[in-house]
A and B are shown apart, each in its own frame.
Chain A
């Protein structure tokens, strides 16, 4: 067991967990933030994507103990000027970039990270940045449009 402290969405959390606890389980089951989801066990689907110190990571592939005292942002930690939604969240709403919503938190976090690094991505940039995130509902075009909408509405700031 290990006492693991992680700052999640600006709030320092501390939980006594097994050493092998994955970050995704720490977030979902110890911190009770259930926005990030689990869709596979091979790091293919990206439903568990969160920001670790600002960069997108698949939280099923990180041990909680590896990020001791570091900063994690989940989809619950995003906010912005669109009735509280960030530009990326609002982009997905405007462009129907989600259907069942299960992959969505991962898509939103990967897109948020992309726009921070590349505020004006081309379609190709967007598609490749989201390569590690699988959506079974949308066929991706509307997700690409969502990210583009976000880029045009302050998502890169």
Chain B
């Protein structure tokens, strides 16, 4: 029986369910001490002086360090020249929350006591928190040497005006894709222990090798003496790709103090120190015909990077521009972008990273075209779809060639699950009944770029490479251990890797272990991001297994005195086809692989080990069709989701349980962005006003609906599994479905657009006229 495609329960769960998970903060080696940052309470200021004398007298304090102590070390890696982030702020702070000094004490209580006693004297500067403020004439500069807050700028090469004037009409929107806090329930932290045997650091990271490679060179220590461990990681969603300063200073502090040093953000610290996501403003315009057919699209993206330019954050606007046209065949597309620094928490990847922003804008303007042409939004989508026979489809950007998909089929399946006509009838009935809530129906037909990726795709974000590694080792008893370079934080890698390997090797699922997240044991890795797990490491495991099986069958054939081509693997044993009962078990083959005299002469002891670095020739392009039905309370403006239908196409599904879990979680985060979440700053001071979980609303169980999930399948032609990746789909596809539904509900008020989050207040104003 094939395990690929089966609902296999997770290997990971028993430990996590019994309190035996091992997260960074669960490690407390003897003699550990605790480090905490002194954070800037100013958004933008010159540092005049730092007085640590009181702090040094506080009980339990082992030391206080400032930027002056790290002067011989480089800035944090990956930044752009002129915009690099120092490990601690020295002459200047650029956002409220930026680390300025470090207090290390015997325990976290004593560190917290001492932090406020460090006195920082500032000369306050004017702060900018939005792109508009940062690019206004005379705006205060974050980096005086650069003379502008614009870090990168790629103008539109063609404004397409000639195509717009030929169109029947045009529609435009300015769309604010608001800043979101990522909020994995585990914050960022690390435990560093630098002994005479070298450094070990346990860190909350999605990419341990990525961190190890940069950390070792930053510390000027060889990589063999720099071990990074990502133990259980409590969610990441992109924000744990980032190189945080504690990962760099904790090893040095451990070396200097000769003790293990731990850092663990409180949530309030995390809300300002962990990177944020989104924060783009789009000016999007389309030219279209009377029937809704779109001829031309142009979009200019402004990305708020926050202070400095995080290496991941810098790439977000590029991805948005690439995916600007979504799943539509638009003859003329032009995009441009600028990235801008502001006095806010740095912005980096957050589930979808640039693609939710693209999807939101194209899906919103499709609805605006529907409104202006009076053509049903479903029809406008259908008339503009790229058709299934048009793949591979070359887009406006040569780097982006859509691999496969069937957008009409996905929408048909979505409509079937929705029962569109019935919902429209309910909508009309409610509209006429003043006491009934308004009903709105919204669609989102989306496509994203995933499976990162082909050569060069991740290098641009500061990574070593774009492949992923797998290494399979057969033990003398025929059980298997698989080392994978992609280190998970909830996705279930141990389970899906064992499923794939079990099918290929014929070894039972229970006799396969999966090791990840440790640079001392895993040969090399890139990480878990960009919906790349199954397409990359899954493919590596499949191909490595196939290659290993060639030699395993050779051994079996030798032992059985049969021809290699007659060997088939079944029930944990190698059988001779056509000769029932003639077989040798996997244990015998495993044992033999270590006994030179029993091996065929061309093989050597230890031959049943295989490693493979899989790199795909193209990205993958997961897609889908989502629909949302909302009820809007006419008195309060509160939006309730009545139905959320999500039809996904992620190619081959390895484990439907895990795939559905990924979709649910992504959709939940998308709904949260659509309705609830926004990181806010006081525009006059740059102070964060959503810096804890009281002020920043993460939805809990009563705030979210059930999800009606459907699926279509078009295989990805660019990897041996046919899988496209599923991690980000829900977060990409769901926000426009929700907002389109709300705007649709309010269409009788002449509403054309509402920016996220669609709060009751905004909806109330939309119904009662803006003042």
Contact = CB atoms under 8 A, between A and B. Distances in A.
A18 B108 CA distance: 12
Contact of A134 (B12, B18, B657, B700): B700
Contact of B184 (A33, A108, A128, A136): A136
Which secondary structure dominates chain A's binding surface? loop
Contacts of B183: 136
B701 A40 contact: no
Contacts of A141: 664, 704, 706-707
A26 interface: no
A15 interface: no
B491 interface: yes
Interface in B252-283: 266-268
Given A76-B19, A98-B17, 11 more contacts: A37-B25, A37-B185, A40-B267, A96-B9, A99-B235, A101-B490, A102-B21, A102-B23, A139-B704, A139-B707, A144-B706
B701 A92 contact: no
Nearest to B13: A93
A1 interface: no
A103 B693 CA distance: 15
A136 B698 contact: yes
B141 interface: no
Contacts of B14: 83, 85, 93
6 contacts: A39-B186, A45-B267, A92-B13, A96-B10, A105-B19, A139-B707
A149 interface: no
Interface string B648-681: 0000000001101100111111000000000000
B661 A99 contact: yes
B626 to A, nearest CB: 13
Name, among A18, A41, A132, the residue most crowded by chain B CB atoms within 10 Å (CB to CB). A41
Contacts of A40: 267, 692-693
Interface in A12-32: 18, 20-21, 25, 28-29, 32
Nearest to B656: A96
Interface string B87-115: 00000000000000000000101000000
Interface residues of A, number: 59
A100 B17 contact: no
Those 5 A-B pairs whose CB atoms lie nearest each other, nearest first: A35-B19, A102-B234, A101-B16, A100-B490, A139-B668
A96 B11 CA distance: 11
Contacts of A98: 13, 16-17
Contacts of A36: 19
Interface of B: 9-10, 12-14, 16-23, 25-26, 28, 107, 109, 183-187, 232-235, 237, 266-268, 489-492, 657-658, 660-661, 664-669, 692-694, 698, 700-702, 704, 706-707, 730
A126 interface: yes
Name, among A47, A135, A138, A141, the residue most crowded by chain B CB atoms within 10 Å (CB to CB). A141
A84 B707 CA distance: 32
Given A40-B267, A93-B14, A101-B234, A142 B661 contact: yes
Contact of B661 (A38, A127, A138): A138
Interface in A71-99: 74-76, 78, 83-85, 89, 92-94, 96, 98-99
A89 B693 contact: no
A59 interface: no
